[in-house]
Amino acid sequence: MKIKTKITLLFFLISTVGLILMNAAIFYFVSEFNFEDFFKRLEARVRLAAQINIHPNEKSVAYQEVRSGYLEKLVNERDYVIKLPQDMRNFKKPIDLPDAFYNDILKKKLKARYNKANKFYSGGYFDTPYGKYLIIVSATDPYGFRELVELRKVLVVIFIIATTLTYIAGNIFSYYTINPLSRLIKQVKNLSANNLHERLDEINGKDEISELVHTFNNMLNRLETAFETQNNFVSNASHELRTPLTIISGEAQLLLTQKQLEPETKKLVETIHNEAEKLGQILASLLGLAQTGFDGKKQNWQPIRVDELVMTVVGLVKKIEPEGTIDINFSSLPEDETKLYTEGNANLLQLALSNIVMNACKYSNNQPVEIKVASENGRLMIAVADKGIGIPIEEQQYIFEPFFRASNTTEFEGYGIGLPLTLNIIRLHKGSIGIRSEEMAGTEIQIFLPVVPPVS
């Protein structure tokens, strides 16, 4: 999930929780206010009911007139006037209400309130010269209930509108927050070994993004210096080192043609010639390894059909290892020929694959080597399997390090450069390498390359 989406969702979540809490608080306090107001109206009627009903007289008539003339008649309003017995054990509840309601009135001598399903009850205790009385007034509040229903609808509508606006605001907020970072990512993606002299656009300010830009530019300065140093070394080495090696090898070869050489001298010259040839091979491998460290100039890239690449590599390897046995398995090739193509530098891919195939022939003592080609999930797979000495499991993680050689390869000639060079080439082509190996059972190396259909 992108940071922009995370910021939007976080902003939306926080705002939504805040809106829910605010709406819940509004609904709660409004409903509490309505309930409190209605209960106070009932309590006033409890007192009037006591004045009117406990001992009717002239004052009672006046209270009745006040109640009838000035107080609104509540919906389903009803008075309960209960004279309490001397022995409270004989008291029976006149209305089916909770015991706590009657306990508050009769034992604690407090006002009591109760409501259920929009039915409200208010009661009081009155100790008069005419006896002890329990007065209860009940009524319903449909108007207040409708107000709460309407309030709930209004709050829901406001919540939907507010959350929608919050999501839009979150998108705008995240866009302007991440936009400088998005521009930075776009500029970084355009950088390569060919334009390391370019720098990211400086951003005014002292925030984290401006510090990140400054850090990137400092890193680019160091990278440019390192690449220039490496490039200069590769260029100089290719000219300055190859020339004397070629001279040494040529002079030694010329010296070997002399018939008057003593046997011991001829043996020494042969050693010089062989070691110069080895040094030349090592130098060529090192230069290839260094050159593939760059991100590659694509002007030489072209569509490459993998089955044809395998056939070419097999032909090259058989010229070098004529005793090797190589079986090609094309049974898993796709019917659609466009799925057999990738894009890259044919010479580099031939070098990478031939390194693997020659290793398979060499370390299996020329036992049969199988090459299988398949295409699935948008990737091409080239698997090279042998029945050779295998690689110790604890050493398999190091085989792609330059100059590393497994402990069981001492009897075989090599320099430990082929596989690192192969890995660099495959990575250069946006591919990957997998390996499965068991000591004394064999090794299988799988190369995965992206399918890039040729342009018609």
Its sign, for the CA torsion 396, 400, 401, 405, is positive
Least confident of 55-64, 209-218, 327-336: 55-64
- Given a cut of 70, whether residue 426 has pLDDT beyond it is yes
**Residue 303: Cβ within 10 Å count:** 15
Of all residues in the chain, the percent with pLDDT exceeding 90 is: 29
Whether residue 214 sits in one domain with residue 303 = no
What's the pLDDT at 296?
47
8 A C-beta contact, residue 260 and residue 243: no
Number of domains in the chain: 3
Residue 175 domain flag:
no
Query: In the predicted model, what is the mean pLDDT of the chain?
Result: 85
Q: What is the DSSP string of 338-368?
A: GGGEEEE-HHHHHHHHHHHHHHHHHHTTT--
As beta bridge partners, residue 436 has 444
Whether residue 303 sits in one domain with residue 440 = yes
C-alpha to C-alpha distance for 414 and 271, rounded to whole angstroms: 17
Residue 173 domain flag:
no
Of 122, 146, 170, the residue that ends a domain is 146
Banded pLDDT at 153 (limits 50, 70, 90): very high
Residues 6 or more apart in contact with residue 77 via CB below 8 angstroms:
45, 137, 138, 139
C-alpha to C-alpha distance for 414 and 411, rounded to whole angstroms: 10
Question: What are the pLDDT digits (tens) for 287-320?
Answer: 665 665 554 444 467 899 999 999 999 988 888 8
CATH number for 29: 3.30.450
Of 291, 315, 343, the residue that ends a domain is 291
What's the pLDDT at 276?
81
Question: What are the pLDDT digits (tens) for 14-56?
Answer: 999 999 999 999 999 999 999 999 999 899 888 888 888 887 7
Instruction: With both helix axes pointing from N to C terminus, report the angle between 263-291 and 242-256 in degrees, rounded to the nearest 10.
Output: 150
Least confident of 61-65, 73-77, 246-250, 364-368: 61-65
What's the pLDDT at 235?
66
What's the pLDDT at 285?
60
Arithmetic mean of pLDDT, 69-74: 78
- Edge-to-edge order in the sheet of strand 131-140: 75-83, 131-140, 119-128, 112-116
Whether residue 278 sits in one domain with residue 232 = yes
Of 146, 171, 189, the residue that ends a domain is 146
- Given a cut of 60, whether residue 67 has pLDDT beyond it is yes
Mark residue 390 as left, alpha or beta (left: phi above 0; alpha: psi -120 to 50; beta: remaining): left
**Residue 182: Cβ within 10 Å count:** 13
Question: What are the pLDDT digits (tens) for 357-410?
Answer: 999 998 988 889 999 999 888 899 999 999 999 999 999 888 888 888 888 888
Residue 371 domain flag:
yes
Domain residues for 220? 208-291
Whether residue 104 sits in one domain with residue 54 = yes
What's the pLDDT at 290?
62
- For residue 344, the Cα-to-chain-centroid distance in whole angstroms is 31
CA distances from 132 to 54, 87, 125, 213, 267 (A): 9, 12, 7, 87, 136
Whether residue 309 sits in one domain with residue 263 = no
Alpha helices in 207-342 (DSSP H): 208-240, 242-256, 263-291, 306-320
Whether residue 427 sits in one domain with residue 346 = yes
Arithmetic mean of pLDDT, 405-433: 85
8 A C-beta contact, residue 372 and residue 382: yes
Whether residue 387 sits in one domain with residue 311 = yes
Residue 49 domain flag:
yes
